[in-house]
Chain A
């Protein structure tokens, strides 16, 4: 079927592409023609890494659990299973994924291909560190990869943006959790310096730490550090299902709701809510998947939005962040969301893995020409300072910039399946 595919942030393929649904029993999904394909899950990547050039292989029907050992916490599942569904199955048995993104609809294959990180980076590192082995479907057959077998392909696939083939299943390591309930603490901060001091303390005590920032007052960064850890089952709480809001199915709005006044108002409300409670006990769902049930991407309207997601290297990340925010404030764009997270020095096996020690900053910006210009300036600045941009979120960086940030990209290009390509890879490597 020919269709236009969209990324999470609203960018669409430049032309209609062929889509094929892959089933577990199917043999070779590479169509008879010489089309270049790309595995695709639920389209949760913001930029063009999830947009194919000629054809997309949809892995959404690969949702089988192949095996699960409740003693050792090793699960083998097909790549199209969503991480939210996976933890819903394992948490009743006392096991959870160590690395979870902010939205549960990410597939296992996507999590490996983008080597995702989460609120637990300070002890768990990236998703790729918990992958024991997986199967790749390449144009020349099936290959099983693990840290000891086909090591180079294993390392190229983790963070490999789906270019080395189609991941069909993966074996993952889980960690223990005593119950589905989490103890949360919300610590306010009034400057980036204060953030840096508080976050270190929180990371010592809590497993999941992330900071939300309010950028609506020019020149001033305030926010709240959300820290959480799994706790024993509280006596007064009942096990409950996922309570999703009814607005989940809101279609993409014809206009964006975020302007500087509405963002200011929203941030005030959020501060107010958290001033009333510094500590709470919540179901894992509300803590780990804050975006589930909110059609956040649809609130930006037809033009979509950009997410600037960069890591600023460890010494001097406060200066870098201040410089970057100054550019954004001067361009007068609304900044509805800003999330901070510190990255530890834990290494990922992935060659193109994004995290380096330092501070990760993610800012959502509605798509306007002013935002476009400001982002170009910021990306250039980040490259100069030795930082990195996250390919999964990027829409703007140029080939020189990408190749300076990820000097090892040649290794992935060498192992890339000649029949796999994405719009992103075409852009940053200038391939045609």
Chain B
């Protein structure tokens, strides 16, 4: 099998699409998992048109398929374990007051956090046995500090960050060829954020996607901010006293 292989969960998201495109031609084999079958088929066709060696698809609903072993399914489709797993699915509640309902809390945490933990556990089992691999997970800069808006989303991503930090240390102690990459994009113009107010700091999904591909190709690990200047910004924001955040109402 020539070229590397990747499993992308949440493959129809705008960022994941751009990342997959930019991973060509170093990555030739793709397993795309997502909820929307029509979009998935359309994107798979597009990717093979761009020159991918093989493209497989898997229907996957993060909120409900927590017990499925997606990695084993990908292994079956590819004939071997994927070199890299990119987890790109996420749920941003559209209603600011929705955190008050238990139903939303459960939904957000199942999609953003628990399903990812479950996938990470499965990836770990397979990758640790093999001794090399890259796990890249899309988190968010929002996770660094709870703000007045969207803090349920931020909390779900913050749990993810801490979990991945721990996993990274575990993996590093096992093999130098196991990489955990926590991708922290800033505000991105995507369908998920279409309902939010525009900010001058927003960047395009294409830029974030190509940056993610570059990080994966370079085999980077750690918490990586995209674009890089979010790191100093979030360091400051995370250390601001409450009254400042109350005043600016971000």
Selected from B25, B50, B217, B219, the residue in CB contact (under 8 A) with A89 is B25
Bound-state Cα–Cα, A395 to B10, Å: 49
- Type the 1/0 row for A272-290, where 1 means its CB is closer than 8 Å to any CB of B: 0000000000000000000
Contacts of B53 in A (CB 8 A): 65
Distance (Å) between the CB of B216 and the closest chain A CB? 9
Bound-state Cα–Cα, A275 to B51, Å: 45
Which chain B residue lies CB-closest to A75?
B2
Q: Does the CB pair B51–A65 fall under 8 Å?
A: yes
CB neighbors of A among B9-57 (8 A): 24-26, 28, 49-51, 53
Q: Does the CB pair A24–B2 fall under 8 Å?
A: no
Q: Does the CB pair B218–A244 fall under 8 Å?
A: yes
Contacts of B176 in A (CB 8 A): 238
Chain A interface residue number, banded: 20 to 34
Q: Does the CB pair B49–A242 fall under 8 Å?
A: no
B177 adjacent to chain A (CB < 8 Å): yes
Distance (Å) between the CB of B127 and the closest chain A CB? 16
| B interface majority secondary structure | loop
CB neighbors of A among B44-101 (8 A): 49-51, 53
- Type the 1/0 row for A57-87, where 1 means its CB is closer than 8 Å to any CB of B: 0000111110010100000001001000110
Bound-state Cα–Cα, A78 to B219, Å: 27
- Type the 1/0 row for B173-201, where 1 means its CB is closer than 8 Å to any CB of A: 00011000000000000000000000000
Which chain B residue lies CB-closest to A64?
B51
Which chain B residue lies CB-closest to A238?
B176
Q: Does the CB pair A63–B3 fall under 8 Å?
A: no
Bound-state Cα–Cα, A97 to B2, Å: 15
Q: Does the CB pair B49–A85 fall under 8 Å?
A: no
Which chain B residue lies CB-closest to A61?
B50
Contacts of A68 in B (CB 8 A): 2
Q: Does the CB pair B28–A65 fall under 8 Å?
A: yes
Selected from B24, B177, B217, the residue in CB contact (under 8 A) with A63 is B24
CB neighbors of B among A210-255 (8 A): 238-244
Bound-state Cα–Cα, A25 to B49, Å: 8
Bound-state Cα–Cα, A428 to B25, Å: 37
Contacts of A344 in B (CB 8 A): none
A260 adjacent to chain B (CB < 8 Å): no
Q: Does the CB pair A78–B51 fall under 8 Å?
A: yes
| A241-B217 CB under 8 A given contacts A64-B51, A89-B2 | yes
A16 adjacent to chain B (CB < 8 Å): no
Q: Does the CB pair A89–B51 fall under 8 Å?
A: no
A88 adjacent to chain B (CB < 8 Å): yes
Q: Does the CB pair A85–B26 fall under 8 Å?
A: yes
Q: Does the CB pair A65–B217 fall under 8 Å?
A: no
Contacts of B177 in A (CB 8 A): 238-239
| A242-B218 CB under 8 A given contacts A24-B51, A89-B2 | yes
Q: Does the CB pair B2–A241 fall under 8 Å?
A: no
Which chain A residue lies CB-closest to B132?
A239
Q: Does the CB pair B51–A241 fall under 8 Å?
A: no
Q: Does the CB pair A89–B26 fall under 8 Å?
A: yes
Bound-state Cα–Cα, A115 to B25, Å: 23
Bound-state Cα–Cα, A358 to B51, Å: 41
| A65-B3 CB under 8 A given contacts A24-B49, A238-B177 | yes
A90 adjacent to chain B (CB < 8 Å): yes
A23 adjacent to chain B (CB < 8 Å): yes
Contacts of B51 in A (CB 8 A): 24, 61-65, 78, 81
Which chain B residue lies CB-closest to A66?
B51
| A240-B219 CB under 8 A given contacts A24-B51, A85-B26 | yes
| A63-B25 CB under 8 A given contacts A93-B2, A243-B218, A244-B218 | yes
CB neighbors of A among B224-250 (8 A): none
Which chain A residue lies CB-closest to B175?
A238
Which chain A residue lies CB-closest to B179?
A241
Contacts of B49 in A (CB 8 A): 23-25
Contacts of A86 in B (CB 8 A): 25
Distance (Å) between the CB of A125 and the closest chain B CB? 26
A residues contacting B by CB (< 8 A) are: 23-25, 61-65, 68, 70, 78, 81, 85-86, 88-90, 93, 238-244
B residues contacting A by CB (< 8 A) are: 2-3, 24-26, 28, 49-51, 53, 176-177, 214, 217-219
21 cross-chain CB contacts under 8 A:
A23-B49, A24-B49, A24-B51, A61-B51, A62-B51, A63-B24, A63-B50, A65-B28, A65-B51, A81-B51, A85-B26, A88-B26, A89-B3, A89-B25, A89-B26, A238-B176, A239-B177, A240-B219, A241-B217, A241-B218, A243-B218
Q: A24-B51, A64-B50, A90-B2 are in contact. List 7 more A-B contacts (CB 8 A).
A: A62-B51, A68-B2, A78-B51, A81-B25, A89-B26, A241-B219, A243-B218
The 9 closest A-B pairs by CB, nearest first: A64-B51, A241-B219, A63-B51, A68-B2, A85-B25, A63-B25, A89-B3, A241-B218, A89-B2
